[in-house]
Structure formats: structure tokens, C-alpha cells
Structure 1
Amino acid sequence: MNESTIRLFKAVLIKTKRKKSDNKLLEKTIPMGFVFSPEVIYNYSDYDSLIKLVEKSISITYATTDISTTPRYRHRIEESAITNDGGSATLIDRGLLEPDGIILVTFEVTTNPTITGGSPNNVFIHEADIHYQSTNIGTKQREPDFYV
């Protein structure tokens, strides 16, 4: 294997775990609402260690769900910040984002309401896009530290 292949396999962390619903989040959710519990993982490489793993959980609640406001096959756009300056308990430090980083987001539906009164009422996320804005212009080299 060449070096880039080894980095790729080390960067893609595979793990399994069973998440439990956050009762405080569920109590605050309007009845009959969807609660998505995305898990955001960002992998960052540097000189000392190939991967510095940052794992955060954020909540996206879509509270109005009925057949008139949420018809089948609807395209929804929801936005949620996953970074800030310095990071926090629920946000990734945007100073860690580098051009070779991998952002992995997984979603879990924690509340599944009855939308039509029928069965089944299963929702799914077909696609999720992650966009970030960088103030950095081109890098000087292909390996960390990219800007030296």
C-alpha cells in the first residue's frame, strides 16, 4: 500500500455503538415532531498523530409534521452550525479544519410521528450535504502544516 492509501484507511474510523435518546431533548420537542440526532465526526491529521478525532452530537428538530406541511418526497433544507471559533461541547473548533479533513455525519431518527394516521410512517434521509466556507486561499504544500 502506498502512503495515501494507509492514510485513507486510518482516517475512516469504523465503529459501532448504540445511541440512547436524550430525554431532555425529547421533553422539549413539540409532540408529533421529528427529532434527528446527528453525530458529527471530523478527522484531522497533523505531525504528531495521523488522526485527532473530534466527535460532537447536535440536535435538529423539525417540529411541524402533518400531511399538509410535510408531504411525501419533499425536499427539506435545514441548517445547523457544526463549528465555531475555539469549539465547544457541541461544536467543532473550526481552526482544526484542514483541506484533507474528512467530515462524517450520521443521522438517527429518535422520534417517528404518525403523519397520516396510516402505517408505516417511516422517514429517511436520502442525502445530506455539508458545506463550509474557508478564509484560507490555496495551500503551500500537500502535507501538514499546509500553510508553511
Structure 2
Amino acid sequence: MDREFYTISVYVDKDENLIGIPCGDSDKYGIADIDTVMLLKAPYTDSALENYINKVLDACYTKKHNDNVETSTIERYTKKKGFVNATKDFTMISIVKTRTNYSLMPTFNDYEKGPLAIDDDEHILLLNHKPGEMAEVIRGFIEVYLKANMFYKEKAELEAEKEKKQND
């Protein structure tokens, strides 16, 4: 491991398919997402999930961030304008690999601000964690945050519909 850390963003859709985007050097930002998108279609085994995460981490720093493009990698991938709009249908998990461990951090999707990190639910795993341990954490995040985001979105839509009826 020749870098202090490697960081990836993993976006999870409603069907639990994964979109992984690694980081790279950026003259403008220091470190930012690169123009590499890696997919893992559901269903997948724990082993396939953990291999996928390591494959996305291995892609970090394989190219530089494109500082000449104003849009993010996820915006270009989804073909949606604006980061909040591009990420609204996903739950994002941030994964950082250091020389000693992995930090896995879920986000809650705020429909005005986009993904917000849930610091209280950060999970730290040692580099030599047991097989299946990382998959268990990720599947737990998917269960809690993907389902919670869907509930939050439905609740917001019902509130907006109720308000519209009251105003008509």
C-alpha cells in the first residue's frame, strides 16, 4: 500500500445493485472521484461483494480526476444534472482504506442536500478482517439506510401531496 489512504463511494440503488467510484489525485481538489465506474449487479454473494469492494479500491489513483469537467462522475453516469439530483435515488456508502483498517460510513440521503454522512454509524474493520465481515456491515447499511431512505422519500411525497390538497 503506497498511499496513506484510498477512498471510494459506493452507490446502492433500490434493487441493491452497486455503483462504485474510486478516487484519484486532483490538481484542483487534492483528491476526487475519477472517471471510472464499476458495477455489481444483485444478487451477489458475500465473497463477490468483498471482492468487488477491493477491486474498486484497487482502481483508486489509476488515473487523475478530470479537473476540466464541472460535473461529478455520478452525474455523468446517471445523466442527471446536479449532485443532489444524481444521487437522490441511491444510498451512498463511503469506504476508506488506510494502512491499518477500513472505515465504512453510511449516508442518509437528504433530498435537499444529498448524501449526509452518519458518523455515529461508522464501522472500523481491520485489514485482516474475517471473510464475510465487511459484507455483513455493508448489507446492514443497505437494510437500514436504503429502507429508511425509501420511507423518508415516501413520507416527503405524502406530505407534499397533503399540502397541495390543502392549498387547492
Structure whose residues are more often strand by fraction: 2
Q: Which has the larger radius of gyration?
A: 1
Q: TM class by shorter-chain length?
A: under 0.3
